[in-house]
Amino acid sequence: MNLSKLDEILKSAPVFRLAQAKKAVFFDLVEDWSKATTISKDLREKLRKEVPLEIKGKILVSKNGRTVKAALELEDGLKIETVLMKHTDKRNTVCVSSQVGCPLGCLFCVTGTMGFKRNLTSSEIVEQVLFFARYLKKDKEKITNVVFMGMGEPFLNWENVKKAIEILNDDNCFGIGARKISVSTAGITEGIERLAEDFPQINLAISLHAPDDKLRGELMPVNQKYPLEKILKSVDEYIEKTNRKVMFEYVMLKDVNDSEEQAKKLAKRLKYPLYMVNLIAYNPNGRFESSSPERIKKFKAVLEKAGIFATQRYRFGTDIEAACGQLAGK
């Protein structure tokens, strides 16, 4: 689906036509223009040819039914993965990809090992949410949250991610509130600045994963250009402008970054009222092992003792390789 083409085709038509077409796509969730009966037959035919609504995708559902992974095929044949997480409190979160592959090559991440193929267009990003909105329609459920934590680094494709966020947030499209949308970055400081300017209400998450530059540099090559001090300075400026809390993601790798000493080091670095830490149980993919639940508990306790707000993320979809760092466009 090419949303800019939709705007282009309808630009000389009365304004309500575009609103009707968007309602058909985003509210009625039609999968075929022939079902958009508020639109004239001729126009439907034109749209059918020029803005097809089909999204090619295959899904895998986890055993407990709460995680659904979709492999979507793009127009050029490349594939991306996107994940729906159904929470027990009725929230439905889509974890979207922003690039095909990723150029940053973090060692613990399967996407990183694929290399980088290309940026996704804004329509390709929105399509991931649309795919799951259609999937949930049968149960009369809706998408409530979107996180940019799938394949790719969102700030390296900011113009398209920005356009996609505008569509997700637009009341004539999905109408998902800005505070229900989160962008996660490996620490691209220019992107953090842009987020504060463009969308001060949107949540920011930082993939940190190590308490010092030495280890972070070994795990995440991007740390050479964006070391911890630079990132934290940028985060502080972001907080000054937006007064929003910031989440630091920390994936727990056995005997790599999970010792008590490392927890103390991290606590020292992250002692700031608007910082939060989210500990993520790692999903082993060959190179690293995951920390034991006891180790994670101890690590969390050290942070909390130091006055840091810390949470532990529920591990979604490990059985279908839909969890953090496991998306690979297979």
Which positions touch ligand SF4 (CB under 6 A)? 102, 104-106, 109, 111-112, 151-153, 186, 207, 325
Catalytic residue among 102, 109, 173, 324: 324
**Least Å distance between CB 202 and ligand SF4?**
18
**Least Å distance between CB 94 and ligand SF4?**
16
When the beta carbons of 92 and 207 are compared against ligand SF4, the nearer one is 207
Place of tokens 């949303």: 3
Catalytic residue among 50, 81, 95, 102: 81
Q: Which helix (H) or strand (E) holds 287?
A: none
Q: From 297, 194, 205, 203, select the one nearest 244 (Cα to Cα).
A: 203
Q: Is 324 a catalytic residue?
A: yes
When the beta carbons of 100 and 151 are compared against ligand SF4, the nearer one is 151
Residues 6+ apart with CB under 8 A from 30: 24, 36, 53
When the beta carbons of 152 and 211 are compared against ligand SF4, the nearer one is 152
Q: Is 109 a catalytic residue?
A: no
Reported as half-sphere exposure (CB side, CA atoms, 13 A), residue 215 has a value of: 17
When the beta carbons of 9 and 205 are compared against ligand SF4, the nearer one is 205
Q: Which helix (H) or strand (E) holds 294?
A: helix 293-305
Angstrom distance (rounded) from CA 287 to CA 229: 28
**Least Å distance between CB 243 and ligand SF4?**
27
Residue nearest to ligand SF4 as judged by C-beta position: 112
**Least Å distance between CB 179 and ligand SF4?**
23
The DSSP secondary structure of 167-201, one letter per residue, reads: HHH-TTTT---GGGEEEEES--HHHHHHHHHH-TT
Catalytic residues: 81, 324
